[in-house]
């Protein structure tokens, strides 16, 4: 074959250089046609759109063309011509074809369209080759770039917090332990407790559930930082919104108080959504047509809304009124209860029909580090609640007072000896500060219209699921 520099299909489709010879490489979506002429729809992942390769059957013969089936990978030189068909500008009249790899139709799983998402999860190694997952993973990339751009443009520093940690501050029992000990021969002390002194770190260690505590240390030096990395929760919650391994974005800002924190969260989410519409419209249009007919409408709707700011106490009142008017919830509802997703979604979808930032939660149901309000009952927490998702962001203003922080930690049974370094920030040059955590995959659920979080991360980790 003549060596010609490859052009990505996304560029081929935009090209007006009709008559020139181009090279494309990609995976066959379909081959159809007649005895005289075949049409190959070729996709190389650079765009949701395929380029059409027009093949004169006589030139190659049926035998050569036979293995060019769905899933096969080919290399094509051909003349770029203006397309006769509707909906595409350019197509390629094949001059040379090389088959890189075949995909036997008898065993290649992605034959027909309309496979269920459940089935596609079982072939997660191949599902990026479908239109839907190609679109989702391109959008995922663009959202990551949006996040970095948003913070970078605002003078935040990308700060890397550790994945392995020895402090368990967000509640025990949810963490994955990290050990090099021989599990077949565990040494225990007289009381039957495991002796970690000979373990790799000389103490019990786990995968992080949040980079926040270390993020706060950085904010107290660099002013404004964000983390963006993998996060692990061993909670056995088999829901469409929880993963055992997910990615979290956590900005932390010195001198910000709760109101500025809320504004940052609102601006940030809107920026990401606008970025998606600006940079991923082809993919979003595809998802809008195939998955969720209201997707684009919903994205534009959220951009236009000022998010409602509401206290937990007012939220409970609205929910109790709903119950009085005949609405039923599965989970208990009273002042002091942790809100379930059904409660959050009622506020957002039924009552306000708009994203809601709920603030000032009872201190018992929130983390020890949240700033205590003067009422003695609530803390300056803020959860951003979204249509179809529920909680997308959880954040707070942090308690900057050393005495209040340590007292509250004790009250909540937090082992403060492991986080002496965290408490130190309140001893040396403490300052008001605030931050939040956005679940990256929850944002992706919203932007793609997908309904199961397993479908917006390439290789989901959930209870009993660690294939690929």
For residue 259, the minimal CB distance to ligand ATP (Å) is 19
Residue 242 makes contact with ligand ATP by CB under 6 A: yes
392 binds ligand ATP (CB under 6 A): yes
In what side-by-side order are the strands of the sheet with 356-362? 157-158, 224-232, 245-254, 433-439, 390-397, 378-386, 356-362, 308-311
385 binds, among Mn ion, ligand ATP, none (CB under 5 to 8 A by kind): none
Cα distance between residue 55 and residue 220, in whole Å: 64
Look up tokens 């409602």; give the residue. Answer: 308
329, 340 in Cβ contact below 8 A? yes
Half-sphere exposure of residue 62: CA atoms within 13 angstroms, side-chain side? 4
Choose the contact partner of 233 out of Mn ion, ligand ATP, none; CB within 5 to 8 A by kind: ligand ATP
By the rule CB under 6 A, 454 interacts with ligand ATP = no
CA–CA distance from 140 to each of 143, 147, 279, 304 (Å)?
A: 5, 11, 11, 23
Assess contact for 124 and 458: CB atoms under 8 A. Answer: yes
Q: Please select the residue that binds ligand ATP; options are 22, 76, 248, 356, rule is CB under 6 A.
A: 248
168 binds, among ligand ATP, Mn ion, none (CB under 5 to 8 A by kind): none
Residue 246 near ligand ATP by CB under 6 A: yes
242 binds, among ligand ATP, Mn ion, none (CB under 5 to 8 A by kind): ligand ATP
Please check whether residue 264 is in contact with residue 270, taking contact to mean a CB–CB distance below 8 angstroms. Answer: no
Residue in this structure with the two tokens 């609102």, named with its chain if needed: 266
**Closer residue to ligand ATP in complex, CB, 122/391:** 391
Question: In 10 A of CB 109, how many CB atoms?
Answer: 14
* Rounded Cα distance, 449 and 67, in Å: 36
Q: Report the residue number, 129 or 345, with the smaller CB distance to ligand ATP.
A: 345
Q: Does residue 76 bind ligand ATP (CB under 6 A)?
A: no
Q: Which residues pair with 378 in a beta bridge?
A: 362
Query: Judged by CB under 6 A, which of 437, 444, 447, 448 binds ligand ATP?
Result: 437
Q: 79: closest CA among 65, 60, 58, 93? A: 93
**What does 246 bind: ligand ATP, Mn ion, none (CB cut-off 5 to 8 Å by kind)?**
ligand ATP
| Residue 255 beta carbon to Mn ion: minimum distance, rounded to whole angstroms | 23
Among the listed ranges 8-16, 35-43, 109-117, 241-249, the one in contact with ligand ATP (CB under 6 A) is: 241-249
Per partner kind, with CB cut-offs from 5 to 8 A, the member of Mn ion, ligand ATP, none near residue 398 is none
Min separation Cβ 300 and ligand ATP, Å:
22
The site for ligand ATP (CB under 6 A) is made up of 233, 242-243, 246, 248, 391-394, 437-439, 441-442, 453
């Amino acid at each position: 074959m003549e060596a010609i520099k490859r052009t990505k299909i996304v560029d081929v489709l935009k090209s007006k250089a009709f008559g020139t010879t181009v090279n494309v490489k990609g995976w066959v979506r379909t081959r159809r046609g007649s005895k005289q002429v075949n049409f190959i729809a070729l996709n190389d992942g650079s765009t949701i759109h395929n380029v059409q390769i027009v093949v004169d059957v006589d030139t190659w013969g049926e035998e050569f063309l036979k293995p060019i089936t769905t899933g096969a990978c080919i290399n094509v030189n051909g003349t770029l011509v203006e397309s006769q068909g509707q909906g595409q500008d350019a197509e390629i009249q094949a001059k040379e074809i090389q088959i890189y790899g075949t995909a036997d139709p008898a065993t290649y799983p992605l034959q027909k369209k309309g496979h269920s998402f459940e089935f596609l999860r079982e072939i997660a190694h191949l599902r990026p080759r479908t239109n839907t997952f190609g679109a989702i993973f391109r959008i995922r990339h663009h959202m990551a770039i949006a996040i970095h751009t948003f913070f970078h443009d605002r003078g935040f520093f990308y700060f890397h917090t550790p994945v392995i940690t020895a402090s368990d501050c967000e509640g025990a029992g949810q963490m994955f332990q990290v050990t090099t000990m021989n599990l077949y021969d565990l040494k225990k002390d007289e009381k039957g407790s495991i002796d970690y002194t000979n373990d790799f770190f000389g103490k019990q260690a786990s995968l992080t559930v949040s980079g926040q505590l270390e993020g706060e240390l950085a904010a107290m030096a660099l002013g404004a930082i964000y983390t963006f990395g993998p996060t692990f929760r061993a909670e056995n919650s088999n829901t469409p919104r929880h993963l055992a391994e997910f990615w979290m974005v956590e900005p932390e800002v010195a001198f910000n108080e709760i109101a500025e924190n809320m504004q940052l969260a609102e601006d940030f989410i809107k920026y990401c959504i606008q970025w998606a519409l600006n940079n991923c419209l082809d993919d979003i249009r595809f998802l809008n047509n195939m998955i969720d007919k209201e997707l684009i409408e919903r994205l534009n709707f959220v951009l236009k809304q000022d998010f409602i700011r509401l206290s937990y106490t007012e939220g409970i009142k609205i929910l109790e009124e709903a119950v009085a008017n005949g609405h039923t919830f599965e989970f208990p509802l009273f002042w002091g209860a942790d809100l379930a997703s059904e409660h959050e979604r009622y506020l957002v979808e039924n009552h306000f029909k708009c994203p809601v930032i709920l603030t000032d939660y009872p201190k018992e149901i929130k983390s020890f580090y949240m700033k205590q309000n003067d009422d003695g009952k609530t803390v300056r927490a803020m959860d951003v609640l979204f249509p179809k998702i529920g909680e997308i962001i959880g954040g707070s203003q942090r308690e900057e007072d050393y005495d209040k922080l340590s007292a509250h930690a004790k009250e909540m049974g937090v082992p403060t000896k492991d986080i002496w370094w965290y408490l130190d920030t309140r001893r040396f040059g403490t300052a008001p500060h605030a931050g939040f955590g956005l679940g990256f995959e929850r944002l992706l659920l919203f932007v793609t219209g997908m309904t199961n979080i397993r479908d917006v991360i390439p290789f989901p980790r959930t209870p009993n699921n660690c294939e690929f």
